Structures are given as C-alpha cells and as structure tokens.
Structure 1
Amino acid sequence: MPGAPRDVPAVPVVPPARSSRVSPGEELRTRALPGVTLTVRSRPPARAGLPPALYVHGLGGSSQNWSALMERLAGTVDGEALDLPGFGDAPPPEDGDYSVTGQARVVIRHLDASGRGPVHLVGNSLGGAVATRVAAVRPDLVRTLTLVSPALPELRPQRTAVPTALLALPGVASLFARMTRDWTPERRTREVLALCYGDPSRVTPEGFAAAVAEYERRLELPYFWDAMARSARGVVDAYTLGGQHSLWRQAERVLAPTLLVYGVRDQLVSIRMARRASKAFRDARLLTLLEAGHVAMMEDPDAVARAFRDLLADTATTSERSAPPRG
C-alpha cells in the first residue's frame, strides 16, 4: 500500500470520558496495538467453531452500526466489529493518519495480531473502501467480502453527497461546527438520519433516543470534528488515486467472493455504482434494496443477513465442488 503522510494530531490522544451503549449480549473491549488503540464490539457466537467475521463502519459511524446485523448472524459467524481510530470509543491514531490506506493498515494489523484471519470481512461506506483495499492487498486474510454502499470513486457524485465531501476542505468542519453550535442533539440526529436512511420513520423511538445519546457523547470528544474532517479528506484523496492504487483497480484484484448491497434511496453513494461494482469485482453478487438508503445493515438487517448467509452457502458449495477427490 502507498505511504500516507504522518500528520501531527491536532488534539491529545485520549480515550472518551464516557463509553458508547452496549446492547444486551454484546461485549466491548479495548485492544492496544503499536500507535493505535482500538475498541472491539463482539457478541458471543451461538456455538463454538463458527467462522470469524469482522465488521468495519463508515465515516462518522461506529461499531454500534453493526449491532442489529451481528445479532442476526450470531448463529452463522463469530463476529467482531471495530471502532476505527477516532470513532466510537477508540481514541485518534497517534500519527493522525485517517487515510483509507491508514485505516486498512489498522484492520490488517488487528487481524494479524488477533490471528482470526481469514475472516468474512464486511464494510459500509468508508469501511467498504477500507475492506476493498484489505481484500486486494491481503487476500490471505479475507474469506468473503460484503460491501454495503461502499465508498468507491464516483466521477459525478450525487448533489446530496457534496456537503459531506466538503468536510474534507480545510476549515469547513470547524465552520460547520460553529454554524450549528445551537442545534440540539435531537436536530443533529434527525439531520443524520434523513441523510443516511431511506425512510427515517422506520427508526423506533427507542432507537432515536439511543442515537441522540450517542451524538451527545460524541460532541463532547475534543477530536470529534477533526476526525470527521480528516476521514472525509482521506476518502476524497482515495478517489483521486490512480494506477495500481486506484480503488477500482484494487476491486478488480479482489479474489474473495463478494456480496454488494446497495440501497435505491442512498443519498451518499449512487445506486448507479451498483452496476460498475458488479463488473469490477470478479466474483460478485448484488442485493438491491428498494426502500433502503446508505446503511442497509441498520435499515433492513434481515435482508442483509439472508444475503450474507446465501453468500456463505454458495461459497461452501463452490469449495466442495472444487476440492480434489479423497482417497
């Protein structure tokens, strides 16, 4: 992977004062690696011996984004969800590197250190770009790849995605923070849900209250806006890379069977990209959800879980057919 600039962190590297919500049956633990501290959310598998899975969230998200899907897949895989550096309960990286390449290095470092690979790797949005890069450069770590609205380069992004991309510009994040300092956590949460969900009314009152509490917690973090701005810059920078480091070129190198999930109502990643992605990944399956937006694993976790199980079943069948005869 190409080298990334080593920025000096703009804020002290300190853990959050308050932890995020842990759903019943989940565990949250800290994992210290050289130069970075991660938090790992997990749910004990339904039985021993299940294959490992790793979930990677998107820009502004956290491991909580995978709770609903992890619960539904507890009988299928032994799942873990990461808080990438600077998000969820994980403090910023010591080198200030929020690039897609830097985040991919973190995922690879975690998998190498844990010895859980190869895993069924699942990513959403920014996490989808990170997962694509991991699968391309370390195929030994990835059994299958599932991408929910992956942030792969678009020549003409939707107008609704432009404000998020503008966070990458110097000073825009701090300007937005000042302009919205009088917004209540409820309003901030509604704005995020309206952008990410195909139908925000599907969020339950309990889910909305939990999202508000999490937003309040994150706003207390001194590095919140810095992490958002640098991560957005990392996505934009990844879009401009050409040659062998292009995300589309790396998608073509992925060997793992791949499930692509797109929401027709996605305001951040255009449904138009589904066809291109289906052609780029050599062994791809496509799930299109008519009512979903950018976070299908939260909006319709049952549909995503069914497609994921089908992917694993197809992969197992293919492996059995290609296995040499015994005896």
Structure 2
Amino acid sequence: MSSTELPPALATTVTPKASAVRVAAGERLRSVGLPGITLSVRSRPPARAGLPPALYVHGLGGSSQNWSSLMTQLDGLVDNEALDLPGFGDSPPPDDGNYSVTGHARAVIRYLDAASRGPVHLFGNSLGGAVATRVSAVRPDLVRTLTLVSPALPEIRAQRTAWPTALLSVPGVARLFTRLTKDWSAEQRVRGVMALCYGNPNRVTPEAFRDAVEELERRLALPYFWDAMTRSSRGLVDAYTLGGQHGLWRQAERVLAPTLLVYGGRDQLVGYRMAQRAARSFRDSRLLSLPEAGHVAMMEYPDVVATAFRELLADTDELTSSAAVGAGS
C-alpha cells in the first residue's frame, strides 16, 4: 500500500453545517467527521438520481466556494460536491498538523473511501491540482476522469509573480508579512489576490467581491489561518523537490484517467509554458488553452470550462452513460 493510500474509514459522521460561510442558492454545506480530520463539504442536490459523482478540490488559500460557478454549469450532468481541505474554508486543521500534498491527498482519499463515491470525476485547481494528480496516481480506482485547472506541478523556473507564495514556506516569513501588512484592509488584500489570480479582475462582479471580502475577514480571524497557509505552501515546495516515483511529474505519467488540462495565458502563478509538458505527461489528455484567463479559469470562464468538460465526457463515452442514466431514472 502506498504511503498516500489509506484503508476505508471505520466511521463517518455527517451533520448539517451552521457557520458564517456563504452558501449560494441551491447549495448545501455539511460537516463530515472522519478519523483525524473533519471536512466541510459543499454540494448541490443532483438534478436527478443516478448521476455520476464529481468532487472538486481547491487551491492554496481557496475554498470550496471557488467551484460554485462551475458546479452550477454542470448541474444535470454530474452529482456535485466540493470539499474544503483541512485548515481551509470551513474545515478545521487536521489532528496531525500534516499539510503536505500527501496529507491533503490522504484527506481526499479518506473522504471518498468513507462516502463510497468513487470513481468520481475529479477536479483540482493549483494546489488542488497537485493533490488530485497524486490521488489519481495512487488510487486509480477512485477516479473516472481528471480535470486540472492550472495545476501546481513543479517548474524549474517559476515566474517572479509566484515567488511570494513560495516564500511563505520559509520559516518566519508569514509572521513578518503579517506584521508588515497589519494595517491592510480586507478589501485591499482581496484586490491584491484578484489581481494576482484573475486574467481580468474586472470580470469579478461587485457581489462576488463583497463575498470574498467577508470570507477573508472571517478567515483572518481564525487562529490557524496563517499556519495552514504556511505549512501548505511548504508542503507544496517540498513536493516539488521529490524525485523518483513520488515526484509529481512521475505520478502524472501514471494517471490512467482521461484528463482535461486547463491553462490560462495570463496565469501569474503557474507558467503557461507548462501546458505542453503537462499534455505530454498525462497519457490520455486534452488541452484547453485560454489566452485571456488567469489562475482560476473555472471562476473566470466557468461556461468555457464546462463545455470542455462535456466534450471530455463525449470523447470518453461518459456523456452517453450519464444520459442513459437520466433516461432510465
């Protein structure tokens, strides 16, 4: 058994979630208790019974909310669930304090095993893309298709705009940054993040901006916010240095699931030039290049990403299977 694989969870506790986290119309939020972790899971009631399950994994500093627009686009096609990784969104820190890529992958595997939802259509963005790649490599039985939006896979020469994120992994930097930015408002911080993550920040609606500010204010008040950010950043940097069978590019080569790769031409965190290497590494892949998109194409262009996913299903006969399930329900 791989170090990332875990036996099925012995018990799971599912309770409705009551929190300050925004829940969009048609969404539900619940808390799932598993050995060593508690995960907050966002879902949309399936349009009909029998739809194939999908699971979405967010990036560093993100949350399950990052997938709300895409989940809406895919209503009626899949049974949507998005989780908050341990220490992010509305999920508390893991009991063992493990924020490595492997630790996050274990959380995803633990949830899928306990929920018996696999194989799923697995989605990942940024850090979540690295996590989803590892899950797909070590547990192919859990993954039906894989969709990666700007996956955080190792780059020899990272863009300068990505250096501050990597620097968070250096001991003491997060504390220093917190001290230097103590007078920044949540609005200033959100504008900075959106300028970094969006190809065109003007695509963000006033309502979405307000929601992001409220969410950041809530998260900044959490005692573990910076610890989760710092340790997850360090875990990602550590994953970049792994060689052999545990290296992320080597694991990408082991992925069996049909894979959709989405890269943005204005991505300031993951190099657009990495798209071709990814297309060569994932054995059954197709590439969607969006020249105007940034790091979060599923938020900027959810309709375009949804169309590409439908085409992936059509190419792999998954769309036909899903339609057959609907006709028989």
Secondary structure of the equivalent of 1:41? strand
C-alpha separation in 2, matches of 1:253 and 1:290: 28
Match of 2:9 in 1: none
Structure 1 runs of 4+ with >6 Å offset: 317-320
Deviation for aligned residue 1:17 = 9.6
Q: Does 2:119 match 1:115? A: no
Structure 2 contact 169–230 (Cα < 8 Å) conserved: yes
One-letter amino acid of the counterpart of residue 28, structure 2: E
Verify: 1:181 aligned to 2:182, yes or no: yes
Uncovered stretches (5+) of structure 1, i.e. residues with no partner: 4-15, 321-327
Shift of 1:43: 0.4
- 1:282 aligned partner: 283
Aligned residue number for residue 237 of structure 2 = 236
SS of match in other structure, 1:20: coil
Q: 1:254 to 1:319 in 2, by over 3 A?
A: farther
Residue correspondence of structure 1 range 1-327 to structure 2 within 5 A: 1-2=2-3, 18-316=19-317
Aligned-residue offset at 1:149: 0.2
Cα distance between partner residues in 1 of 2:259 and 2:320 = 15
> Deviation digits for residues 100-143 of structure 1, max 9, x if unmatched?
00100110000000000000000000000000000000000000
Contact 2:69 / 2:302 at 8 angstroms: preserved in 1?
yes
- How many angstroms apart in 1 are the aligned matches of 2:254 and 2:207? 42
In 2, the alpha carbon distance for the partners of 1:171 and 1:47 equals 50
Q: 1:129 to 1:149 in 2, by over 3 A?
A: same
TM-score, normalisation: structure 1: 0.92
Relative to 1, partners in 2 of residues 1:317 and 1:36: Cα closer, same or farther, differing over 3 Å?
Answer: closer
TM-score (norm 2): 0.91
Number of the residue aligned with 1:6: none
CA gap 1:306/1:319 in 2 versus in 1, 3 angstroms: closer
Q: Partners of 1:312 and 1:47 in 2: how far apart?
A: 18
Amino acid at match of 1:315: T
* TM-aligned CA distance change 1:319 to 1:207, over 3 Å: closer
CA-CA distance at 1:19 after TM superposition:
2.8
Deviation string 1:215-259 (CA, Å, 9 cap, x unpaired) is 101111000000000000010000000000000000000000000
Deviating more after overlay: 309-318 vs 272-281: 309-318
RMSD over aligned CA atoms reads 1.5
d(CA) in 1 for partners of 2:52, 2:166: 36
- Structure 1 residue matching 2:317: 3-state secondary structure: helix
CA distance, structure 2, for counterparts of residue 48 and residue 319 of structure 1 = 16
Q: Helix, strand or coil: the match of 1:91? A: coil
Q: Give the distance between the partners of 2:308 and 2:102, measured in 1 at CA.
A: 28
User: SS state of the match for residue 150, structure 1?
Assistant: coil
**Contact preservation (8 Å) 1:18, 1:217:** no
CA distance in 2, matches of 1:140, 1:82: 19
Counterpart of 2:290, as a letter, is L
**Larger displacement relative to structure 2 (44-53 or 148-157):** 44-53
> Judging changes above 3 Å, is the alpha-carbon distance between structure 1 residues 59 and 303 closer, same or farther for their aligned structure 2 residues?
same
The one-letter amino acid of 1:248's match is W
Offset from partner CA, 1:124-171 (integer Å, 9 cap, x none)? 000000000000000000000000000000000000000000000001
1:34-93: CA deviation from partner (whole Å, max 9, x where unpaired): 000000000011111110000000000000000000011011100100000000000000
In structure 1, distance between residues paired with 2:308 and 2:202:
24
Task: Classify the secondary structure of the residue corresponding to 1:103.
Answer: helix
**Shift in Å, 1:20:** 1.1
CA distance in 2, matches of 1:291, 1:47: 35
SS of structure 2 residue aligned to 1:259:
strand
> What secondary structure does 1:97 align onto?
coil
Distance 1:41 1:137, change over 3 A: same
Question: What corresponds to 1:10 in structure 2?
Answer: none
Report the CA distance shift for 1:23/1:318 in structure 2 as closer, same or farther (over 3 A): closer
